[in-house]
Amino acid sequence: MSVQIIKRGAVQAALLSSLSMMSFSAPALAGKSDDTLRVAFTKEVENVDSYFNSAREGVILQRTVWDGLVYRDPATNEYVGNLATEWKWVDDVTLEFKLREGVKFHNGEEFDADDVVYTVNFVADKDNGVKTQRNVNWMKSAEKLDKYTVQIHLKEPFPAAIEFLAGPVSMYPNEYYAEVGPAGMGLKPVGTGPYKVTSVEPGTHYQLEKYDGYHDSPKGQPKIGKLDIRTIPDVNTQIAELFNGELDFIWQVPADQAGKLAGMDKLTVANESTMRIGYLSLDAAGRTGADNPFTKLKVRQAVAHAIDRKTIVQALLRGKSKVVNTACFPSQFGCEQEVTSYEYDPEKAKALLAEAGYPDGFTTDFYAYRNRDYAEALANFLNEVGIKTNFHMLKYSALRELRMSSGTPITFQTWGSYSINDTSAITSQFFKHGSLDDARDDEVRDWLEVADTSTDPEERKAYYSKALQKIADEAYWTPLFSYNTNYVFSKDVEFQPTPDEIVRFATMSWN
Amino acid sequence: MLAFILKRLGLAALVALTVSAISFSLLYIAGDPASAIAGESATDADIEAIREYYGFDRPLIVQYLEWLTNALQGNFGESYYFELPVSQLIADRLSITMMLGVCGISFALLFAVPLGVVAALRPNSFIDRFSLFLSVMGQAMPSFWFGLILIVIFSINLGWLPASGASSWRHFILPTIVLGYYAMPAIMRLTRTGMLEVLSADYVRTARAKGLSQRKILFKHALRNAIIPVVSLAAVQMGFMLGGSIVVESIFALHGAGYLAWESISRNDLPTIQALILIFSMFYIVFTLLADIVNAWLDPRMRVH
């Protein structure tokens, strides 16, 4: 922690000094002159093959190199055809697609029903080890009806299918993939997407080039000729490279640094919320002991009243982050907003604690795994009303294991929903008696079950609404805030961020 | 001498294996590897699938023995994260770290030893105070801060050197300075103390009395003896640089083995961590051995032990 603070202070000083010096040394190089957008990734992507990585950077590469059958317009959230032109539900578990004709993969292979059948059958087979099973395990198989018509069979009714087909499920060339497999695809990726990959240095450097044969896709035609993506783990080094013109585009820049960069003439700072929300999970089910205070409704309500979420958003998260009242991200399908909300009221919190039998408060273990500064602020608010916290910051895998085995009384958690714009991607993950469900409410589980499997959108909404209202009434979670991302790029670049935090290179252009 | 070296090498291999066995079990209990590999947003189904796929549901001893058998045949398995052979992954990254380590230690020795000698020759002079100042600075200044300052000056303002990457020798200049400067103070102070001690020793006084030239006394008699502990220290520093250049590699985006080790630990990429621990501990042991040999050459009395 102290290292973090010192580092942050040191970085601020270094930045300030460099900012003051920038006045007499302007960046010289820029990607515009050679039509190459230079981008930094913070994380080493494990494998470019999109089915074998789980990082945000991997998702971005996936949308750049490959296409799905469907596309969701990030502005309107409407689904439009991409590699498919039409689709319909044949029954609850069968989707039929009419495929676009004349599409070619980057290696010249023609796209048709065989590619869809091969891709779906490969990824749906658990033995092939697709990393994010949730993205694919709802599919059973695919069947070719004719060269440009294909059916996808589901294991059971799954209304969010189209959302997944518009997102993580991308189409691979059957002949090429059968030959090279995931390892080969990771080193020489081939898709139908707006950019083709020209070189891969695993984890560290990717070069891409505009695909001139790109079909008439709703993603739009790429405008920038080349992309040069390097992994630079340190944000400060990224900023330095942005200053000296070696980079044109970075993102996930911390709020305080973004604030300073916003004042620079040659840079644009754009901010957009993401689908990730932060929340406190409370052990209402009594997994850590039946006498644990969080099994009492009034204690949970006291927690909700104890935290000044607005102040945390304004002081720490900033940007387009908002206070969240429901156990989902507001834009998600079925994310009911009309639920009981809890205003910041420490006196009321204290009164509720007294009513629950804790007039002097109590002491509890408090767990967190990321954003230590937010977690500490939360703990302070709890301390102020008498809930004394033993603060534990754990590695994610260790915390998860602890939560799965014996539970934790109160934990600061976050969830990004894989950028899936459907309530099933969050609420159903945590309230259907899974190992991370701290509420174990049978009624909520049953309602979510109906909402997750019904193919009638109105019925889905109604049942998500019931479940979310009860979650709020019972204060099982204390939903806190949505996260945001700062994008910093050269003034030469035109870019509009979207809430799904996917950087779409095809929509970018030079100013 | 050869028997001595072979015996030491055999012992080294045993030590490395013990280290790997201990670290294998420690890493395993530090967190569920399946959950770490699956990432933050994984569901139970994802984690279960990974657990089965990689065989984490088997007893730890079975997993370790399997790894050991393969490792002895030179097969370190596939990285869980990159799904590439670990040997290939490490070969790529180790060359960068080795390059950085050799440059760093050379830089440190090149400046620290002469400075230490001169400081010892003129105690309390300007040069002595200056070298003391340098060593205090070197120890007090965190690497990430010093690295950033160098980037701000030489990359942003002067535009002379690249700030990140490893595609040319110019990319290594700033990281070498940062890494080397960190190792300098200890070497410099040890050289100074050693020289001061040796210069007041009887045999130096005798040499002076015999009328030998200052140069001969300094290099043939004094430095040869004063440098012995420095060699041992440099060997340890070199080992440290290979494993511990994480911060420098991260700031300058060098993607070397140090950074790979650090990242692999957070990803629970067991095959990679295992191989790296084995390699790093072997390096440590080999460097210490080399230092012993050099010392034995410098001081024949040591060959007896």
On whether any CB of chain A is under 8 Å from the CB of B162, the answer is yes
Q: Model's pTM, two decimal places?
A: 0.81
Compare A351 and B279 and report the one with higher pLDDT.
Answer: A351
User: What is the arithmetic mean of pLDDT over A365-375?
Assistant: 93
User: Residues of B numbered 104-133 whose beta carbons fall under 8 angstroms of chain A's beta carbons: which are they?
Assistant: none
Q: Does B159 touch chain A (CB under 8 A)?
A: yes
Partner-chain residue, chosen from B31, B159, B266, that has the shortest CB–CB distance to A401: B31
**Partners of residue A395 in chain B, C-beta under 8 Å:** 30-31, 36, 266
Q: How far apart are CA A77 and CA B273, in angstroms?
A: 43
Task: Report the gap between the CA of A180 and the closest CA in chain B (Å).
Answer: 14
- A251 membership: H or E segment, kind and range: strand A249-251
| CA-based nearest residue in chain A for residue B268 | A397
Q: Give B-chain residues touching A7 at CB under 8 angstroms.
A: 142, 144-145
CB atoms within 10 A of CB A338: 11
* Packing angle, helices B60-72 and B2-29, rounded to 10: 150
Mean pLDDT of A162-176: 94
Paired tokens of B207: 């040499």
Per mean pLDDT, which range of A50-59, B110-119, B190-199, B241-250 is the poorest? B241-250
Q: Band the pLDDT of A25: cuts 50, 70, 90.
A: very low
Average pLDDT over residues A294-304: 96
pLDDT surpassing 80 at residue A27? no
| Most confident of the following: A412-426, B209-223, B277-291 | A412-426
Q: For residue A205, what are the β-bridge partners?
A: A201, A230
Closest by Cα among B278, B183, B176 to B237: B183
Residue A469 predicted with pLDDT over 90: yes
pLDDT, tens only, A43-85: 888 889 999 887 889 999 999 999 999 999 988 889 999 999 9
CB contact under 8 A, A54 and B32: no
A131 and B156 within 8 Å at the Cβ level: the answer is: no
CB contact under 8 A, B250 and A231: no
How many Å is the Cα radius of gyration of chain A? 24
* B159 interaction partners in chain A (CB closer than 8 Å): 25, 28, 244
Give residue A6's pLDDT.
46
Cα–Cα distance for residue pair B44/B35, rounded to 1 Å: 9
Residues 6 or more apart from A240 whose CB is under 8 A from it?
A: A18, B148, B151, B152, B155, B156, B163, B164
Least confident span in A247-256, A304-313, A344-353, B69-78: B69-78
Cross-strand bridge partners of residue A387: A362
Q: Which of B155, B252, B268 sits opposite A244 (nearest CB)?
A: B155
SS3 A328: coil
A130-141: average pLDDT: 90
Instruction: Determine whether the interchain pair B45/A137 forms a contact, defined as Cβ–Cβ distance below 8 Å.
Output: yes
Q: Which residues of A180-213 are buried (b: 16+ CB within 10 A; e: fewer)?
A: bebeebbbebbbbbbbbbeebebbbbbbbbbbee
Residue with tokens 């000044």: A308
Judge: A236–B251 Cβ closer than 8 Å, yes or no.
Answer: yes
Rounded to 5°, angle at Cα B278 from B277 and B279:
95
Closest-CA distance of chain B to residue A264, Å: 15
Residue of B nearest to A54 (CA): B39
Q: What is the mean pLDDT of residues A169-185?
A: 94
Residues of A in contact with B144 (CB under 8 A): 7, 10, 234
Residue B209 has pLDDT above 80, yes or no: no
Mean pLDDT of A197-204: 92
First to last CA, chain B: 11
Tell whether B28 lies on the interface with A, counting CB pairs under 8 A.
no
pLDDT of residue A120: 96
- Report the residue of A16, A46, A228, A264 to disrupt the B interface, i.e. the one with the largest count of B CBs within 10 Å: A46
Grouping H, G, I as helix, E, B as strand and the rest as coil, residue B69 is helix
| CB distance A289 to A282 below 8 Å | no
Q: B53: which chain A residues are within 8 Å (Cβ-Cβ)?
A: 129
3-state DSSP of A146-205: ECCEEEEEECCCCCCHHHHHCCCCCCCCHHHHHHHHHHHHHHCCCCCCCEEEEEEECCCE
- Whole-angstrom CA distances from A412 to A9, A321, B183 are 25, 17, 41
From the CA of B215, how many Å to the nearest CA of chain A?
45
Give the strand pairing for A36-41 and A226-231.
parallel
**Cα–Cα distance for residue pair A123/B199, rounded to 1 Å:** 74
Residue A26: per-residue pLDDT: 42
pLDDT of residue A65: 97
Rounded Cα distance, B177 and A346, in Å: 53
Distance from CA of B200 to the nearest CA of A (A): 43
**pLDDT number for residue A223:** 95
State chain A's mean pLDDT as an integer: 90
Cross-chain Cβ contact A11/B148 below 8 Å: yes
On the question of pLDDT at A4 being above 60, the answer is: no
B155:A240 CB<8 A? yes
- pLDDT at residue A428 greater than cutoff 70: yes
CA distance A21 to chain B (A): 7
The rounded percent of chain B whose pLDDT value lies above 70 is 94
Q: Find chain B residues with C-beta within 8 A of A415's C-beta.
A: 41
Which chain A residues are within 8 Å of B259, Cβ to Cβ?
233
Pairing of strands A410-415, A267-282: antiparallel
> Do B148 and A236 lie within an 8 Å CB cutoff?
yes
pLDDT at A468 over 50: yes
Rounded Cα gap, residues A501 and B6, in angstroms:
57
- Whether the predicted pLDDT of B134 surpasses 60: yes
Contacts of B248 in chain A (CB under 8 A): none
What's the confidence (pLDDT) of residue A140?
95
A120 backbone φψ class: left, alpha, beta (φ>0; ψ -120 to 50): alpha
Query: Binning pLDDT at 50, 70 and 90, where does residue A15 land?
Result: low
Most confident of A25-34, A122-131, A204-213, B288-297: A204-213
CB contact under 8 A, B44 and A17: no
Q: What is the pLDDT of residue B41?
A: 67
pLDDT of residue B222: 76
DSSP string, A407-435: --SEEEEEE-GGG--BGGGTHHHHSSS-T
User: Within 10 A of B203 (CB to CB), how many other CB atoms are there?
Assistant: 12
Name the average pLDDT for chain B: 82
Which chain A residue has its CA at the smallest distance from B167's CA?
A: A205
Q: Sort out which chain B residues have CB atoms less than 8 A from A231's CB and list them.
A: 253, 255
* Pick among B37, B89, B148, B153 to test the A interface (most A CBs inside 10 A): B148
How large is the average pLDDT for residues A329-358? 95
Whether residue B225 lies within 8 A of chain A, CB to CB, comes out as: no
Q: ∠B292-B297-B301 over CA atoms, to 5°? A: 85
Interface test with B, best of A133, A430, A436 (most B CBs within 10 A): A133
Task: Please say if the pLDDT value at position A450 is more than 50.
Answer: yes
- Residue A30 banded pLDDT, cuts 50, 70, 90: low
Q: What is the pLDDT of residue B30?
A: 64
Shortest CB distance from B152 goes to which of A17, A46, A202?
A17
Rounded average pLDDT over A317-338: 93
As a whole number, mean pLDDT of residues B14-33 equals 75
Smallest CA–CA distance, residue A129 to chain B, in Å, is: 7
Among the ranges given (A113-117, A455-459, B210-214), the one the predictor scored with the smallest mean pLDDT: B210-214
| Closest CB to A232 among B155, B156, B164 | B164
Q: Phi first, then psi: what are they for A138, rounded to 5°?
A: -85, -10
Q: What's the confidence (pLDDT) of residue B27?
A: 67
Rama region for B230: left / alpha / beta (φ>0; ψ in -120 to 50; rest):
alpha
Contacts of B152 in chain A (CB under 8 A): 14, 17-18, 21, 240
Distance separating alpha carbons of residues B222 and B195, to the nearest angstrom = 7
Q: How many Cα atoms sit within 13 Å of A495 on the Cβ side? A: 29
Contacts of A234 in chain B (CB under 8 A): 144, 250-251, 253
The answer to whether A390 and A352 have CB atoms below 8 angstroms apart is no
- Is there a contact between A395 and B53 if contact means CB atoms under 8 Å apart? no
Residues of B in contact with A133 (CB under 8 A): 43, 45-46, 49
pLDDT in tens, B266-277: 777 888 888 888
Q: How far apart are CA B291 and CA B285, in angstroms?
A: 10
Confidence of residue A5 (pLDDT cuts 50, 70, 90): very low
Token reading at A67: 């296409």
Cα gap A393→A375, rounded to integer Å: 9
Does the CB of B42 have a partner CB in chain A at under 8 Å?
yes
CB contact under 8 A, A397 and B164: no
Is residue B93 pLDDT above 60, yes or no?
yes
A7/B144 touch (CB, cutoff 8 Å), yes or no: yes
Q: Which residues pair with residue A81 across a beta bridge? A: A70
B87, B95, B151, B161: which to substitute to probe chain A, counting the most A Cβ within 10 Å?
B151
- Percent of chain A exceeding pLDDT 70 equals 94
CB B227 within 8 A of CB B113: yes
| Structure-token pair, residue A111 | 């796209």
pLDDT for residue B203 is more than 90:
no
Are A369 and A394 in contact by the 8 Å Cβ rule? The answer is yes
Are A244 and B156 inside 8 Å of each other by CB?
A: yes
What's the rounded mean pLDDT across residues A142-164?
93
